[in-house]
């Protein structure tokens, strides 16, 4: 390839370049030229340009200087072994510098109602197989929050209100619309980089925390415990230890009676526990209202259905304690429930 190209563009300049690159120093150049033409007379470098080397020399004079011919004939070389192609292409021959792209961003443009100004939502996305997880960047702008909910309800495959899951086919339909733009700001072909972490402003004054109030236990007076037992038609005789045992049995029986109401509420409402007891307004769960053992039975249910000491959900059941053992442990203060609960939206 280099020889064919040089033959087409052969000139004094190209011949001079091959000469000066193959012969080091003036003496070597003079010796080389006189070996080709005895009539050439040279006393310095300037004399070389008095002769048209394109006529005096030809490409065959530089046989054996293959590297020099290639570098001169093809100034920009980009040759690779064929196996290198396998490293940067997939099985179909398409260019692929990394095995997969997991992180990207989707920008959603929208127009404010009754205004000419445009706003946008930013979603940080992560792909895992065919699933794509969307996480929005939200601030205190309520219009953005509303648009984020609308966007999620349109494209989600789960029930997420702001953070949601979708699939690749829906993402393809999304891209076809002009209001949605996909970008790859964290894509790096040299070293792996994590995707961006989404954040949101949360108005603490509007986050409602729920907690469970105090219940009857060993610190309660015998008189108060007897009043509760009397209301439920349970014998009030015996020492305090006996009264606590009767109270535990009563709580276990009431739990079975009230369980359908608790199941109905916590099936439709999921909570997470936070360690802080910062429930300043004293809000509690709207169940078992009017029951004098409400807090004790509710505490039993929460302990039984809290997964990992954090997530409160009806479908989880902790069988470490049977109902009576749990009631006994609570009234004897061997087990306690701390923290507040935040409803998961």
Please report the DSSP string for 281-324 in residue order: T----SSSTT-TTHHHHHHHHHHHTEETTTEE-TT----SS-HH
3-state secondary structure of 244: helix
| End-to-end Cα, the chain, rounded Å | 68
Q: Are residues 256 and 277 in the same domain?
A: yes
Q: Are residues 142 and 53 in the same domain?
A: no
User: 202 near 224, Cβ under 8 Å?
Assistant: no
Q: Are residues 172 and 239 in the same domain?
A: no
Give a yes or no: residue 89 inside a domain: no
Give a yes or no: residue 95 inside a domain: no
Q: Are residues 226 and 128 in the same domain?
A: no
How many Å apart are CA 245 and CA 186, to the nearest integer? 62
Give a yes or no: residue 156 inside a domain: yes
Average pLDDT per block of 10 residues along the chain, 345 residues long: 91 90 89 87 86 88 89 78 84 86 89 61 92 92 88 93 94 85 89 85 70 90 92 91 92 93 92 77 84 92 90 88 90 89 84
From 176, 74, 171, select the one nearest 132 (Cα to Cα): 171
Give a yes or no: residue 94 inside a domain: no
Domain final position from 172, 201, 230: 201
Contacts of 338 (CB under 8 A, 6+ apart): 275, 277
Please compute, for residue 151, the number of CA atoms within 13 A of its CA located in the half-sphere on the CB side: 26
Residue with tokens 């199941």, as numbered in its chain: 263
Q: Are residues 135 and 39 in the same domain?
A: no
Give a yes or no: residue 91 inside a domain: no
Give a yes or no: residue 51 inside a domain: yes
Q: How confident is the model at residue 208, as a pLDDT?
A: 79
Domain final position from 156, 185, 201: 201
Q: Are residues 175 and 277 in the same domain?
A: no
User: 165 near 132, Cβ under 8 Å?
Assistant: yes
From 215, 213, 239, select the one nearest 226 (Cα to Cα): 239
How many Å apart are CA 99 and CA 90, to the nearest integer? 9
Q: How confident is the model at residue 205, as a pLDDT?
A: 55
Q: How confident is the model at residue 184, as a pLDDT?
A: 92
Give a yes or no: residue 187 inside a domain: yes
Whole-model pTM above 0.85? Answer: no
Question: DSSP character for 60?
Answer: G
Give the angle 272-277-282 at the CA atoms, nearest 5°.
95
Q: How confident is the model at residue 275, as a pLDDT?
A: 81
Q: How confident is the model at residue 203, as a pLDDT?
A: 63
Q: Are residues 337 and 263 in the same domain?
A: yes
What tokens appear for 271 in the block? 């909570």
3-state secondary structure of 310: coil
Contacts of 266 (CB under 8 A, 6+ apart): 301, 305, 312, 313, 314
Number of Cβ atoms within 10 Å of the Cβ of 37: 11
Burial of 67 (0-12, 13-18, 19+ CB in 10 A): exposed
Q: How confident is the model at residue 252, as a pLDDT?
A: 92
Give a yes or no: residue 80 inside a domain: no
Q: How confident is the model at residue 133, as a pLDDT?
A: 96
Q: Are residues 229 and 193 in the same domain?
A: no
Q: How confident is the model at residue 321, as a pLDDT?
A: 80
Q: Are residues 333 and 214 in the same domain?
A: yes
Q: How confident is the model at residue 202, as a pLDDT?
A: 67
Q: Are residues 209 and 333 in the same domain?
A: yes
Q: For 272, phi and psi rounded to 5 degrees?
A: -120, 145
Q: Are residues 217 and 311 in the same domain?
A: yes
Domain final position from 54, 73, 92: 73
How many Å apart are CA 199 and CA 169, to the nearest integer? 27
**Structural domain of 50:** 2-73
Number of domains in the chain: 3
What tokens appear for 250 in the block? 């009563």
Strands 103-111 and 118-128: antiparallel
Number of Cβ atoms within 10 Å of the Cβ of 243: 25
Q: How confident is the model at residue 232, as a pLDDT?
A: 92
Q: How confident is the model at residue 277, as a pLDDT?
A: 65
Q: Are residues 125 and 147 in the same domain?
A: yes
């Amino acid at each position: 390839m280099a020889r064919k190209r040089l033959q087409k563009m052969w000139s004094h300049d190209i011949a001079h370049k091959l000469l000066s690159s193959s012969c080091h120093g003036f003496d070597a150049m003079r010796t080389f030229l006189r070996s080709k033409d005895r009539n050439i007379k040279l006393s310095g470098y300037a004399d070389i340009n008095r002769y048209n080397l394109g006529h005096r020399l030809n490409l065959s004079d530089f046989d054996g200087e293959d590297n020099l011919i290639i570098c001169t004939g093809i100034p920009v070389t980009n040759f690779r072994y064929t196996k290198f192609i396998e490293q940067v292409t997939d099985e179909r021959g398409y260019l692929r510098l990394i095995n997969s792209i997991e992180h990207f961003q989707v920008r959603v443009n929208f127009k404010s109602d009754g205004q000419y100004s445009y706003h946008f939502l930013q979603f940080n996305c992560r792909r895992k197989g065919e699933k794509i997880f969307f996480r929005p960047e939200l601030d205190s702008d309520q219009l953005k929050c509303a648009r984020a909910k609308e966007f999620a309800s349109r494209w989600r495959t789960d029930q997420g209100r702001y953070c949601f899951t979708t699939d690749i086919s829906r993402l393809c339909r999304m891209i076809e619309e002009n209001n949605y733009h996909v970008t790859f700001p964290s894509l790096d072909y040299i070293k792996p980089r994590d995707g961006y972490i989404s954040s949101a402003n949360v108005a603490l004054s509007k986050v409602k925390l729920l907690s469970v109030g105090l219940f009857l236990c060993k610190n309660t007076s015998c008189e108060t415990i007897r009043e509760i037992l009397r209301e439920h038609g349970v014998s009030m005789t015996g020492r305090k230890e006996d009264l606590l045992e009767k109270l535990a049995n009563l709580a276990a029986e009431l739990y079975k009676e009230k369980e359908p109401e608790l199941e109905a509420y916590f099936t439709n409402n999921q909570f997470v526990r936070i360690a802080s007891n910062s429930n300043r307004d004293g809000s509690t769960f709207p169940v078992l209202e009017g029951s004098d053992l409400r807090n004790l039975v509710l505490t039993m249910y929460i302990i039984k259905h809290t997964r990992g000491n954090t997530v409160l959900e009806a479908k989880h059941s902790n069988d470490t304690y049977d109902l009576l053992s749990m009631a006994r442990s609570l009234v004897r203060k061997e087990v306690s429930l701390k923290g507040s609960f935040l409803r998961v939206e």
